[in-house]
């Protein structure tokens, strides 16, 4: 990211590389825009201030063919908190906006004061054996070639049935993720990476919890597909925790278009974020109705630290022949 050459350097930034446009999606990947807005805002605050919350709204589909201008407004600079708003703009229109709050780094506080503060955090989920879930090995290489793209890798999504009724609102999805290679640039770069991956698979949580068919053809037509396309569909279907055989979805409702409306990230332990090490994402949905749904996500480090909590509201439509491949 660099300062825009024709603007005051402290206010407007632009991307230097083309942004990923997921196959079949209406626009560019939202997580990339969130990460770049955060990167722009972080360049306008003092080094001892770290992000603690980021509240975003997706307004228009962005184009990967055009640069984005990130307009940063320095709303407030206080002793303990700083606030920034960022507008991502293309063709003179705002496609995305976010308000980001930074807090002075508490790690420099008096240890006695810190010890007296109120603290609690959700714990790393446990497996069927009752022990905390364990990350994959460092040499993990089980990711299908079809999905081995982008700056992050992950494991197959596991859908955990809720207890005792197994209703969608009681289910959770879990996946381990990490950046490919090593991240340089210190804590700010790791926080931007976490913001990037926080939007991965988020919007599709509802389809997994409700077992909704989301390919651009009916499940009944699976056997008529070209064998290579059948293989790809089956790989994606299994990877997203939907089951072993796509034909088991015959008769299930078909989701059409899905759109993210907003996205919020609360960063709990910014100094402990290491996005190039394994992190566990756990997603659930407390509510869905009126063609909208709220999805919540917890992101844990491999040692069990709750790094961030994310919330997203999505809008969905039950139409045929619209498809978002990798959300």
Q: For residues 237 and 243, what is the distance between their CA atoms, to the nearest angstrom?
A: 7
Instruction: Give whole-number Cα distances, 70 to 88, 98, 168, 257, 258, in Å.
Output: 5, 11, 38, 28, 25
- Best CA proximity match to 40, nearest among 78, 96, 104, 92: 96
User: What's the pLDDT at 216?
Assistant: 85
pLDDT (tens digit, 0 to 9) for every residue of the chain, 327 residues total? 666 655 544 689 999 999 988 877 788 999 999 999 999 999 999 999 999 999 999 999 999 999 999 999 999 999 999 999 999 999 999 999 999 999 999 765 555 555 567 899 999 999 888 999 999 999 998 999 888 878 999 999 999 987 667 799 999 999 999 999 999 999 999 999 999 999 999 989 999 999 999 888 899 999 999 999 999 999 999 999 999 999 999 999 888 788 899 999 999 999 999 999 999 999 999 999 999 999 999 999 999 999 999 999 999 887 443 333 333
User: What's the pLDDT at 280?
Assistant: 98
Q: Which CATH number is associated with domain 151-327?
A: 3.10.129.10
Is there a common fold for 1-105 and 151-327? Answer: yes
- Asked if 291 contacts 110 with a C-beta cutoff of 8 angstroms, the reply is no
Domain ranges (residues) in the chain: 1-105, 151-327
DSSP secondary structure letter of residue 209: H
Q: For residues 300 and 122, what is the distance between their CA atoms, to the nearest angstrom?
A: 9
Find the largest Cα–Cα distance for the chain: 68
Q: For residues 201 and 29, what is the distance between their CA atoms, to the nearest angstrom?
A: 11
Instruction: Give whole-number Cα distances, 312 to 31, 204, 309, in Å.
Output: 12, 11, 10
- The whole model's pTM is what? 0.91
* Encoded tokens for 327: 């959300």
Q: Which CATH number is associated with domain 1-105?
A: 3.10.129.10
Chain position carrying tokens 């919020």: 264
């Amino acid at each position: 990211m660099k300062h825009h050459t024709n603007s005051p350097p402290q206010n407007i930034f632009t991307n230097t590389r083309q942004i990923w446009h997921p196959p079949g999606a209406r626009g560019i990947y939202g997580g990339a825009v969130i990460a770049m807005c955060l990167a722009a805002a972080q360049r306008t605050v003092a080094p001892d201030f770290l992000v603690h919350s980021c509240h975003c709204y997706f307004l228009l589909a962005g184009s990967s063919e055009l640069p984005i201008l990130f307009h940063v407004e320095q709303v407030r600079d206080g002793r303990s908190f700083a606030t920034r708003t960022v507008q991502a703009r293309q063709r003179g229109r705002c496609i995305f906006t976010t308000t980001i709050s930074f807090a002075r780094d508490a790690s420099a506080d008096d240890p006695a004061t810190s010890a007296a503060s109120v603290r609690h955090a959700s714990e790393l989920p446990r497996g069927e054996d009752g022990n905390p879930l364990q990350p994959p090995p460092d040499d993990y290489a089980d990711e299908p070639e079809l999905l081995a793209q982008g700056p992050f890798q992950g494991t197959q999504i596991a859908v955990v049935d809720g207890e005792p009724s197994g209703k969608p609102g009681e289910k959770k999805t879990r996946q381990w993720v990490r950046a490919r290679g090593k991240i340089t640039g210190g804590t700010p770069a790791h926080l931007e990476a976490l913001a990037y991956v926080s939007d991965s698979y988020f919007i599709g949580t509802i389809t997994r919890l409700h077992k909704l068919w989301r390919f651009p053809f009916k499940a009944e037509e699976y056997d008529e597909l070209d064998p290579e396309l059948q293989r790809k569909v089956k790989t994606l279907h299994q990877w997203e925790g939907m089951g072993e055989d796509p034909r088991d979805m015959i008769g299930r409702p078909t989701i059409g278009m899905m759109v993210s409306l907003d996205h919020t990230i609360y960063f709990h332990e910014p100094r402990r974020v290491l996005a190039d090490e394994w992190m566990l994402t756990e997603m659930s949905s407390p509510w869905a109705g009126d063609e909208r749904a709220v999805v919540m996500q917890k992101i844990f480090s491999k040692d069990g630290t709750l790094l961030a909590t994310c919330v997203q509201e999505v809008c969905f439509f039950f139409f045929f022949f619209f498809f978002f491949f990798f959300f």
